[in-house]
Structure 1
Amino acid sequence: MSRPLKVMMVAAEASGDALGAGLAKALKARLGSDVVFVGVGGVAMAAEGVDSPFDITELSVMGWLEGLKAYGVVRRRVADTVALAVAERPDAVVLIDSWGFTIRVAKLIRKALPNAKLIKYVGPQVWASRPGRAKTLATAVDHLLALYAFDAPWFEREGLATTVVGSQALHVDMSGSDPVVFRASRGIAAAAPLLAVLPGSRPSEIRLMTPVYEAAIARLKAADSSLEIAVVAAGTVAADVTARVATWPFRAHLIGEDQKYAAMRAATVALATSGTVSTELALAGAPMVIAYRFQPLSYAIMKPFFTGKYATLFNHAADEEIAKELIQNDATPEKAAAAVGRLLADPAARADQAARQTAALDLMGRQGRDSSELAAEAVLRVIAGRSA
């Protein structure tokens, strides 16, 4: 009797954990007990049978300085991950997002287990910065699962076989997230303006962005005291967000991830830290303002490497700034309040932006098949030796 297929998955952040969980579920739906998992991930992957040997929250860093500070931890966890691969000898290793961590793991597993199939799930955003990473990745793995069609040519030019699987965020089912019930459960009047605030999922994002949002909201509340605020706390940083919001001098509804989509659908406008959440907000029909700050020195080091026009994926897909982006020095309370305030004051502008966001999602593949199912098919093809 042949042994079950063994797939190792490696995710270092909450977004990657969600991707890994979706892939594991899709593989189990196809293979049942004929597939087993090992690897590194968070609570979502653990629920699908991937037991991580360590807590991945310590790897959730963004920026050059933050990376340097965490280098010792990252190096140890890379070694732990590679040791797990050597001990388990999986048929394939799926390395999910988190470029700095997973590229180190890929290179070392390639040396230690030359026969294992290495698959990268989500390539670096070379269209936005550091295009040389496409060549680096092509030498380190056997196959790439890309989220968007505009990703593929960058890697295929370097000889890396690529399958476009789409983004999970484009296929989220929000039908069970009722905005009317959400508002009623929180005592928010049906006609009250509601600002959804999504401060991020990394500790550095919470540290840098929540003071900006607090000050921006204070300005907005001074202009309209009826404005309601809902702050969504990602599970990886929930305690930090809760503690910070508790000190705000105005009321804010603190929302867990289980109510995230309902809050998005109920929102009049959203103010969000740049990331996957922008796609989810667009899917929910929420017009938004996007903001992001790095540590100043990190930004100064990184800025020359930014070559893309936009940070937000649907802005990039449409090649226009549909959602206002406030990056680094533009991410001030004054500018955030002004951009949000314009949308709150103009129903026609909100409707127009929401419609253009939806059209941009279609350009990103919103009408395609479920991304986890496509990823599972591609993983099985690679293991079988068919990269196309």
Structure 2
Amino acid sequence: MSQASGSADTGEPPLRVFVVAGEASGDHLGGALMASLKAATGGRVTFAGVGGETMQAEGLEPLFPFSDITVMGVDAIIRRLPQLLSRINQTADAVVAMRPDAFVIIDAPDFTHRVARKVRKRDPTIPIVDYVSPTVWIWRPGRARAMAAYVDRLMAVLPFEPEVHQRLGGPPTTYVGHPLLETLAPILPDRDRPLDPAGPPTLLILPGSRSSEIEALLPVFGETLAAIAARVPDVRAVLPAVSHLAGRIEAEVATWPVKPEIVHGRAAKLQTFGEARAALAASGTVTLELAVAGVPMAVAYKLDAVARALRVVNRVVRFVNYTTMVLPNIVLGERAIPDFLEEDVTPERLSAAIVPLLSDTPERHRQVDAFRRLDALMALPGGAKPSEMAAQTVIDTARAGRPLLANPRI
């Protein structure tokens, strides 16, 4: 358990917060939340929980190594299932023993929600806050109502999620803003800068951060780049490679007829965001990053075998609700960004969507205008920062407490 360094005594006991993150992105959210909780309480806050380097830098002494639960892939999960189940039980035991003012779970629902359900059964008085909603608006909407039994306050990072959970019978939900609004926007150039016609247009190639995405999309992205270069001979292509797949990406790209420049590290990636005229991207959070940066894009997505089978079933029995896989489109409620799924992911279709974005065209202006509407939808009142909004929500939930439930239904 760690105690943040305090300032003047306010007369109130320190806030006790147990925080559990289950993956790297959650660790970053947790670290920012912890920093804002310290600032909001004048340092009068005690932390315990599970997290990685970012949370540890804010003073967390983790219950066990973060790597014990940051497992990706079905095979890896099956191999380490006994350890994962043990860590779930160990974490729930620690929460109940501490009896914190608030128990905050961050993303990674396969781990964090299992812990939360156990805690709710054993001590229904502990307020539970969930930071980042599962995608109930796309997949398995029944999870929203199930969460209401063990989550007292959900902190949403997308502005439409409070309405979704209200409609689906989910827990009370507060939109606290997406972390990109805080971490990305301040270090990027002005989106409204005029298009510089001098020099070759820069195209970002973003094939994803998972091995399955690289395998599915990298070959067709190489063919697409060749088709674009045939129409825009001076195009400069840049591919930011994620570190754990860099070798594989470099080997694949070496066979391409038109070779992009490969850059490494987040700082280099963000620099290219400031230089790019357009991007060819895999579906995912990167599309929201590009929209915040004001980079027009075309988006591609290929499903794995299981998801492909579910897509066929969904045509008969609808249990997946989506018309687009692109986060900015979902927030906007319109298909402002062209997206291509499965059989539509072809060099011809992708290059036809990208080429107009490399110059001053109506297609480019339509996306940039949509990004401005996205800004307005995602903005927080009074220019608040997402981590500050999240911290205040945790404090309010902790202060409100939670009445004892005689027979909690989990």
User: Which TM-score applies when normalising by structure 1?
Assistant: 0.83
Contact 1:285 1:354 in 2 (8 A): yes
- Looking at secondary structure, tell me which structure has more helix per residue: 1
Among 136, 139, 153, the alignment partner of 2:146 is 136
Query: Deviation of residue 210 (structure 1)?
Result: 3.0
| Offset from partner CA, 1:260-286 (integer Å, 9 cap, x none) | 332212111012222222222111110
Residue 407 (structure 2) pairs with residue 382 (structure 1): no
Letter in 1 for 2:266: E
Q: What runs of 5+ residues in structure 1 fail to find an aligned partner?
A: 180-188
Letter in 2 for 1:244: I
Quote the RMSD (CA, aligned, Å): 3.0
State the alpha-carbon separation in 2 of the partners of residues 213 and 45 from structure 1.
36
Residue 236 (structure 2) pairs with residue 228 (structure 1): yes
Structure-2 change in CA distance of 1:211 and 1:101 (3 Å)? farther
2:193 matched residue in structure 1: none
Residue 356 (structure 2) pairs with residue 342 (structure 1): yes
Letter in 2 for 1:86: D
Among 274, 283, 289, the alignment partner of 1:280 is 289
State the alpha-carbon separation in 2 of the partners of residues 175 and 209 from structure 1.
31
2:306 matched residue in structure 1: 297
Query: Deviation of residue 222 (structure 1)?
Result: 4.3
1:5 matched residue in structure 2: 15
Contact 2:29 2:179 in 1 (8 A): yes
Query: Deviation of residue 68 (structure 1)?
Result: 6.6
1:355 matched residue in structure 2: 369
Among 65, 77, 80, the alignment partner of 1:73 is 80
Letter in 2 for 1:381: D
Among 241, 244, 248, the alignment partner of 2:246 is 241
1:25 matched residue in structure 2: 35
Q: How many aligned residue pairs are there?
A: 371
Higher deviation after alignment, 325-334 or 280-289: 325-334
Contact 1:205 1:273 in 2 (8 A): yes
2:331 matched residue in structure 1: 317
Query: Deviation of residue 78 (structure 1)?
Result: 4.7
2:408 matched residue in structure 1: none
2:405 matched residue in structure 1: none
Higher deviation after alignment, 280-289 or 342-351: 342-351
State the alpha-carbon separation in 2 of the partners of residues 32 and 302 from structure 1.
51
Structure-2 change in CA distance of 1:119 and 1:339 (3 Å)? same
Greater radius of gyration (CA): 2
Q: What runs of 5+ residues in structure 2 fail to find an aligned partner?
A: 1-10, 191-196, 403-410
Among 87, 106, 122, the alignment partner of 2:94 is 87
Structure-2 change in CA distance of 1:77 and 1:55 (3 Å)? same
Letter in 1 for 2:278: V
Query: Deviation of residue 373 (structure 1)?
Result: 0.7
State the alpha-carbon separation in 2 of the partners of residues 118 and 176 from structure 1.
34
Letter in 1 for 2:261: A
Query: Deviation of residue 307 (structure 1)?
Result: 0.9
2:269 matched residue in structure 1: 260
Residue 184 (structure 2) pairs with residue 169 (structure 1): no
State the alpha-carbon separation in 1 of the partners of residues 23 and 238 from structure 2.
24
Structure-2 change in CA distance of 1:168 and 1:78 (3 Å)? farther
Secondary structure at the aligned position of 1:80 is classed as helix
User: Which TM-score applies when normalising by structure 2?
Assistant: 0.79
Higher deviation after alignment, 92-101 or 3-12: 3-12
